[in-house]
Amino acid sequence: MGKAIERLKGLTKDVVLLEHAIATLSWDQETYMPRLAIGEKGEQLALLQGILHEKITSSEIGKLLEDLGASDETPEGVFSDGNVVDSAYVREVFRQYKIQTRLPKKLVTELALAASHSQAAWIEARKESNFSLFKPHLEKILELTRQKAESIGYSETLYDALLDEFEPWISTREVLDIFNSIQPWLTEFIGKIGNLRKIDDSFLLKEYDISRQEAFGRRVLQDMGYGYDRGRLDISAHPFTTTLGRDDVRLTTRYQKEFFKTGLFGIIHECGHGLYELGFGENIKGNILASGTSLGIHESQSRTWENIIGRSMGFWKYYYPFLKEYFPENLKSVSMESFYRGINKVKPSLIRVEADEVTYNLHIILRFQLEQELISGSLSVGDLPEAWNLKTKDFLGILPENDSEGVLQDIHWSMGAFGYFPTYALGNLYGAQFSSAMEKDLNMDYILEKGELAEILFWLRKKYIATVLPDLQRSLLVILQEKN
């Protein structure tokens, strides 16, 4: 068994290297690629995806998994020495092998090529605020995504197969149970907040020099523990984090001159993702295991850093004096307490990545409902903008004025990432549980007021190692059922 697992690790190292090469091309497409280069870039991505598919579905990998005892009944294989890391490794390889062997190579490469062109079309459509430029690309992506779900197989709905790619072992029905539990409470709570005293956040809507926004953001990044010897920060149409190598995890954000929160909280959010990716132990770095437990757990990191830490009073007791040095004119008459209230203002808004903590999950539930309808075919792509606007009015009480602040604001569907959106809300809920545990172990107010963010990172890395995703998912359902 020792020889079998070492051989398997050698084969899957090539898989990881190919994934990183694909990520490098994708990162280039989203940051520095010339607009007219999209044609060959799409072909490059499709070619590498095809090679990757051949690697992970090779008959040798199948034989090695069989030799190691991996099966539907024992996906982790059979290890007499009880090696937890190797058992987890075999489970993840078996999971990928099982899924990928159900997908035709032709479909994999078609999806990669279509997604590359679709993302480029989305960027142009968003700039022009013109959904019709994106519509045919989304229709193509949807057609291929349905074929993908059918090939993988599912328990109850097509959406199950897509959701499982991002949040393993959870079903659409279980997510529905969770969202149905929180949506009425959120709607009622937002109504109560709307009747309270209005918060002045007009000082956040002044012109903030972008170069100074970036300089302040980089200072926070460094304090959080993100090192530029293992990554970089760039600008993209939609903020993201990507792993290009075992010691190469890159972040992007976007800035607005007249809305300060966009850039900074985007940086903190993506840094949460980056720190998670950079925190894997030496025993699994470069291994197929070093990719995160699930996107829900990944989002628990980014959302915890962005909201629970980054919007806290303690955080700004330390950082607000520094921020005033960067923007003395904008903030000279704004007290720290007023600033704290302003960045935490609750008010329904149109852009998901700029939404406050209370209304954010409604943005996710809206997208979750729409993409289920798109996948099932009960909603056509042509009717999507109107459906988006109606749900926005129903959920948030406001209407987008154009496609860019409505149906075109997110990149996910252009990538074919159907099933991704629920992980943001699940991440909020996971993060709340982890943060509750963290507050029992650490004097959070003292740590934040001293700017000692490294202590928080140390706790997160030590505690998150023990996370068992299915148990955490079940605990969510139990908690919400008890509250109901």
Q: φ, ψ for residue 292 (rounded to 5)? A: 90, 145
Residues 240/288, Cβ–Cβ less than 8 Å: no
Name every residue whose Cβ is closer than 8 Å to that of residue 23 and which is 6 or more positions away in sequence: 242, 243, 244
Task: Tell me the average pLDDT across 270-277.
Answer: 96
Looking at the chain, the whole-number percentage of residues with pLDDT higher than 70 is: 95
What is the dihedral sign for C-alpha 156, 162, 165, 171? Answer: negative
The per-residue pLDDT for range 352-361, each reduced to its tens digit, is 999 999 999 9
- pLDDT of residue 482 exceeding 70: no
CA angle 437, 84, 78 (to 5 degrees): 140
The per-residue pLDDT for range 434-473, each reduced to its tens digit, is 999 999 999 999 999 999 999 999 999 887 654 555 565 5
Question: Token digits for 1?
Answer: 């068994």
CA angle 201, 207, 208 (to 5 degrees): 90
| Cα 148 from Cα 165, distance rounded (Å) | 11
| Cα 295 from Cα 120, distance rounded (Å) | 24
The per-residue pLDDT for range 303-331, each reduced to its tens digit, is 999 999 999 999 999 999 999 999 999 99
| Cα 371 from Cα 351, distance rounded (Å) | 18
Residues 411/122, Cβ–Cβ less than 8 Å: yes
Question: Token digits for 290?
Answer: 């070093």
Per the listing, tokens 């329904």 go with 348
pLDDT of residue 283: 87
CA angle 185, 200, 263 (to 5 degrees): 80
- At residue 197 the predicted structure's pLDDT band, cuts being 50, 70 and 90, is confident
> What domains does the chain contain, in order, with CATH numbers?
2-157 (no CATH), 172-483 (1.10.1370.30)
Residues 146/372, Cβ–Cβ less than 8 Å: no
Catalytic: which of 30, 270, 277, 371? 270
Question: What does each C-alpha distance from 115 to 100, 210, 380, 434 come to in angstroms?
Answer: 18, 31, 19, 35
270 annotated active-site: yes
